[in-house]
């Protein structure tokens, strides 16, 4: 179908299709996490820091798709729960680095397994080569979008 033949603009608009696909693919998994008491923001932090990643707050905000004030509030809660730890940066005295504690890593491990199972179910009709190609194309698109 050509864009001119489409029912409406969003049927062929890449950014809408990407957002819609992401929402459709994520909704069931996010609901599963919510049922386990894990918010989307917590899930994104766990996934971004697993297994042994240490990021500054700005980089973690970008990686977890959050505004920094939202991330800071969530990190405050997760620190109190013993899930993440904050460390002062050796390079920048004002900088703060964040990583998972052992408790956080254990929690994340279980959620990562569920995320992988969810991804496998969504992509079940795709070949391994098609999945690798799709992911590489999305990484390329992301890199190009960040340049603009």
pLDDT tens column, 64-82: 999 999 999 999 999 999 9
pTM for this model (two decimals): 0.88
CA angle 65, 38, 70 (to 5 degrees): 35
- Per-domain boundaries in the chain: 9-121
pLDDT tens column, 9-58: 999 999 999 999 999 999 999 999 999 999 999 999 999 999 999 999 99
3-state secondary structure string across 18-77: HHHHHHHHHHHHHHHHHHCCCCHHHHHHHHHHCCCCCEEHHHHHHHCCCCHHHHHHHHHH
Domain 9-121 is found in CATH 3.40.50.300: no
Rounded mean pLDDT of 120-148? 97
Q: What is the pLDDT of residue 6?
A: 66
């Amino acid at each position: 179908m050509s864009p001119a033949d489409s029912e409406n603009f969003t049927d062929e608009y890449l950014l809408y299709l990407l957002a819609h696909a992401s929402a459709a693919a994520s909704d069931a998994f996010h609901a599963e996490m919510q049922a386990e008491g894990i918010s989307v923001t917590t899930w994104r932090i766990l996934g971004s820091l697993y297994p042994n990643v240490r990021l500054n707050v700005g980089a973690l905000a970008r990686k977890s798709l959050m505004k920094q004030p939202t991330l800071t509030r969530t990190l405050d809660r997760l620190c109190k729960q013993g899930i993440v730890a904050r460390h002062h940066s050796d390079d920048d005295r004002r900088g703060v680095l964040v990583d998972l504690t052992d408790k956080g890593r254990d929690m994340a491990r279980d959620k990562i397994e569920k995320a992988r199972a969810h991804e496998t179910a969504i992509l079940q009709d795709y070949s391994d080569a098609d999945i690798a190609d799709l992911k590489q194309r999305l990484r390329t698109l992301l890199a190009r979008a960040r340049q603009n």
